A and B are shown apart, each in its own frame.
Chain A
Amino acid sequence: MTCEETVGQLYEYLDSELDKRSYTKVKKHLSACHICCEKFEFEQALKNIIKAKSEIHKVREHVRENIVMQLSARHRVQSRAETSTLKSEESRKRGIFQLFQLRPAYMAAAVLLPLFITALSVYLVFFKSTDYSSPIIEGVAERHDKFISNKGFLTLAGSDLSELKKYFKEPRPSNFNIDIPGKKGSAGSFVSLPGKQSRIKENDLRFLGCKNCDLAGKKSLFVGLEKVPAKISLEMIDASGINISGLKKEQFGGRPYYFGKHKGYNIVLWKQGNTIYSLTSSIHRKELMRVANGTLYSFFE
């Protein structure tokens, strides 16, 4: 067996996925060839480190108990349903309870339905309405949807010519200052002359372009970004008169972020100075907060 053949099967060997014959061949080569052996030992050590240094999370006890309870509750409901069907022919009438002997299903419904309605309304009033829906959340999500599906959506151009050519027939890169809503005085310059790098271009975050829009009755600035393979919409509005503290909140990197969901997109919002920023994408909320906290926060300082 040659070094090339061995190296080609190294991962399968490492994962114990080789058939006996190939396994023996590789093992034999590794014992004879110290170059391949070193490589193998390194990969093995790395695999062990990934496993060892990977935090193992265990469920909290109440979660397991919950599950066991829910499963046995389902069992009880099932068996009760079956036994009551069996017994219904022999049910005894006991005065006032005569009524309830009629149809066990109706009785169950009569009890459960008001409970269900109460639970549903509590959920709708206290949880659903404030947390996930809000005109801003919906507005940015709808816009993101349009941005993703409409190639001609962006008006002001990005700085990467090859990127621009995907979106505009005649890209016109030029230098302009964008007014960030809520920020007094001169704002950030998103676009620079051809050849120069746009300021937002770190860690695979690419700037595609921007557009002036309207959000929740105010003027907003929309910026299209891309963090391969997903697109991210950044939208900014003046914070005066807007209250986002009713949304679900999570601390990240020592800063508060608010979030919501709409149309399958994740939305993360934060307030900086007198501007409210929002990021919308299909990528994970944590990832969005990372982008906000890492790249964008300092950009907008």
Chain B
Amino acid sequence: MKDFKGSDEELKEFEQTALEYIDSLFNVAMKMTGNREEAEDLVQETYLKMHRFSHTFMEGTNLKAWLFKILRNSFNNVYRKKTREPHEVRYDYEIEDFFLYNKTSSVQRNNGSVSEKKLNIDDYLEDEVKFALDNLPQDFREVVLYSEIEGLSYEEISDVIGCPIGTVKSRLYRARKLLQKLLWNYAKERGYLKEGSKYL
């Protein structure tokens, strides 16, 4: 057990490092709450909890994952689901693999008629990506956020959400399929595809 003065310095350094993740934490908090004030509250709470539980953090382990874990717990405490569904809900049973790829590439192959507008995924705007992400079920959305937006590894994600790596992989896989379906739906709704299009 280090003497008082020594560990105080270390604590400050530790907190300094932790503060470097503030933007990442805030970004995820924003996407989870959708609201700036709530996201800011969540982030503040996360750092205060970090301070309170700093003695439980094991040096050498992943600080970023630990902070995300605290953030996630705080979020769940506020938005916790009251009941658990008794049956397993499957969101993706209809979606084939490479869903969006299949939809978009079929025209390029068929030299489709001139009047059809091709769906180019580059056409997607911030709006649509946000809508698709927002409409994912929460546990799907969070793995996509951690993996694709924040670049956490499967192992880090499994640490944050408290599930085995296998679960992370399968959840991410299903989330991506659903995301593609949502992006596709959005393209249809937004009228990217003309009526009578081969895609519909």
Query: Which residue numbers of A lie inside 8 Å of B, CB to CB?
Result: 7, 11-12, 15, 17, 38-39, 42-43, 45-47, 49-51, 53-60, 63-64, 66-68, 70-71, 74-75, 79, 82, 145, 148-149, 228-231, 263-266, 282, 284, 286
25 contacts between A and B (CB under 8 A): A11-B169, A12-B169, A42-B104, A46-B100, A47-B148, A50-B129, A50-B179, A51-B148, A53-B124, A54-B31, A57-B26, A57-B27, A57-B39, A58-B23, A59-B26, A63-B44, A68-B19, A71-B47, A75-B12, A228-B91, A282-B82, A284-B33, A286-B34, A286-B35, A286-B134
Q: Tell me the complex Cα distance, A71–B43, Å.
A: 13
User: Which B residue sits closest to A266, measured CB to CB?
Assistant: B79
Query: Max chain B CB contacts within 10 Å: which of A17, A43, A266?
Result: A17
Whether B147 and A59, one on each chain, are in contact in the complex, defined by CB atoms closer than 8 angstroms, is no
Q: Give me the 9 closest cross-chain CB pairs, A-B, nearest first.
A: A57-B30, A53-B129, A42-B101, A59-B26, A286-B34, A282-B82, A229-B89, A229-B85, A67-B47
Say whether A230 contacts B101, CB under 8 Å.
no
Question: Dominant SS at the B interface?
Answer: helix
Residues of B within 8 A of A (CB): 4, 8, 11-12, 15, 19, 22-23, 26-27, 30-31, 33-36, 39-40, 43-44, 47-48, 51, 79-83, 85, 89, 91, 97-98, 100-101, 104-105, 121-122, 124-126, 128-130, 133-134, 137-138, 144, 147-149, 153-154, 169, 172-173, 176, 179-180
Candidates A67, A74, A282, A284; contact of B22 at CB < 8 Å = A67
Once A46-B121, A284-B79 are accepted as A-B contacts, the answer to whether A70 and B48 lie under 8 Å apart by CB is yes
Residues of chain B within 8 A of A50, CB atoms compared: 129, 133, 144, 148-149, 179
Are the C-beta atoms of A228 and B89 separated by less than 8 Å?
Answer: yes
| Further contacts, 11 of them, CB under 8 A, given A53-B125, A67-B48 | A11-B176, A12-B169, A15-B154, A49-B124, A51-B149, A53-B126, A57-B23, A59-B23, A67-B47, A75-B8, A264-B82
For residue A60, which residues in chain B have a CB less than 8 angstroms away from its CB?
A: 40
Taken together as a complex, chains A and B put the C-alpha atoms of A66 and B91 apart, in Å, by 41
What B residues does A265 contact at CB under 8 A?
82
Using A54-B130, A54-B133 as known contacts, say yes or no to A15 and B147 having CB atoms under 8 A apart. Answer: yes
Contact B148 A11, beta carbon cutoff 8 Å: no
Q: Is B40 a contact partner of A63 (Cβ separation < 8 A)?
A: yes
Supposing A54-B133, A82-B4 touch, asked if A282 and B81 sit within 8 A by C-beta, the answer is yes
Q: Are A230 and B129 in touch, CB under 8 angstroms? A: no
CA distance A7 to B96 in the complex (A): 13
A66 touches B44 (CB 8 A): yes
Q: Are B122 and A49 in contact (CB under 8 A)?
A: yes
On whether the beta carbons of A71 and B51 are closer than 8 Å, the reply is yes
- Chain B residues near A82: list those with CB within 8 A: 4
Nearest Cβ distance between residue B112 and chain A, in whole angstroms?
Answer: 17
Q: How far is the CA of A51 from the CA of B153 in the complex (A)?
A: 15
Distance between B64 CB and nearest chain A CB, rounded to angstroms:
16
Nearest CB in chain A: distance from B55 CB, A: 12
* A42 neighbours in B (Cβ, 8 Å): 98, 100-101, 104-105, 121
Closest to B90 in A: A228
